[in-house]
Chain A
Amino acid sequence: GENVEQHPSTLSVQEGDSAVIKCTYSDSASNYFPWYKQELGKGPQLIIDIRSNVGEKKDQRIAVTLNKTAKHFSLHITETQPEDSAVYFCAAGSYQTGANNLFFGTGTRLTVIP
């Protein structure tokens, strides 16, 4: 089955700096890569996703890049703000008939220092 590894496990940045979180996956059949943000006491919230037919996707201060050859993808947050502090999870999945499950990384706790 799919194995997703995520690094780093913790990340502290100064407000205004950029943060980068990296994930690798093992199954070359994976074609969908979402990122989730989880705040304390809440469920994971989908913040951005990318599919295997594109290499990069941006949404305001958040961007995700995908390198299918190397089987890795990354989340980039620019101009970080204190409200970006949370745990971020990457995931990978392959969408085919009858299969719709995601495999999650172990999470990165991001702290933005004011």
Chain B
Amino acid sequence: DAGVIQSPRHEVTEMGQEVTLRCKPISGHDYLFWYRQTMMRGLELLIYFNNNVPIDDSGMPEDRFSAKMPNASFSTLKIQPSEPRDSAVYFCASSLTTSGFEQYFGPGTRLTVT
């Protein structure tokens, strides 16, 4: 299996622009998670889905952030408008209920907002 795939790997954008991060989970996994990692706050869970349905979005920092999962093999995290404080590494992870809930992380997207 190719593992969790994220794109782009690096994104540099100007404040106010829309940013879309993409994730393809491991085939067959029924949970998908979006995390943000910064030096100050560590790894933070933003939102997670089960069978394409958002279960908990309490970690989404504000209305500028939105996430969708239109099908079992694709999810997006959108920031509109972006701000410099959104600069971080964003990770997507997936897991399979029947295998014991182990989460497998993608390589991350490093976002820089100038």
**A contacts, CB < 8 Å to B:** 32, 34, 36, 41-46, 49, 89, 93, 95, 98-107
| In the assembled complex, B106 has its CB within 8 A of some CB on chain A | yes
CA of A93 to CA of B101 in the docked complex: distance in angstroms? 10
CB nearest neighbor in B for A42: B107
Say whether chain B's binding surface is mostly helix, strand, loop, or mixed.
Answer: strand
- A43 in complex: contacting residue of B31, B95, B101, B106, CB < 8 Å: B106
Are B105 and A102 within 8 A (Cβ)?
A: no
CB distance from A21 to the nearest CB of B (A): 15
CA of A82 to CA of B4 in the docked complex: distance in angstroms? 27
Contacts of B91 in A (CB 8 A): 43-44
Are A98 and B107 within 8 A (Cβ)?
A: no
CB distance from B4 to the nearest CB of A (A): 8
**B contacts, CB < 8 Å to A:** 4, 31, 33, 42-43, 45, 48, 50, 55-56, 91, 93, 95, 97, 101-108
Are A100 and B101 within 8 A (Cβ)?
A: yes
CA of A107 to CA of B38 in the docked complex: distance in angstroms? 12
- A100 in complex: contacting residue of B48, B104, B108, CB < 8 Å: B48
Are A46 and B101 within 8 A (Cβ)?
A: no
Are A43 and B97 within 8 A (Cβ)?
A: no
A-B contact pairs, 23 of them (CB 8 A): A34-B102, A34-B103, A42-B108, A43-B93, A43-B105, A43-B106, A43-B107, A44-B105, A46-B102, A46-B103, A99-B55, A100-B50, A100-B55, A100-B95, A100-B97, A102-B45, A102-B103, A103-B45, A104-B42, A104-B43, A105-B42, A107-B42, A107-B43
Contacts of B102 in A (CB 8 A): 34, 46, 49
- B105 in complex: contacting residue of A45, A49, A101, A106, CB < 8 Å: A45
CB nearest neighbor in A for B107: A43
Contacts of A106 in B (CB 8 A): 42
Interface centre among A36, A43, A106, A107 (most CB of B within 10 A): A43
**Given A43-B107, A100-B31, A106-B42, 8 other A-B residues pairs in contact with their CB atoms under 8 A:** A34-B102, A44-B105, A49-B102, A93-B101, A98-B55, A100-B97, A101-B48, A104-B43
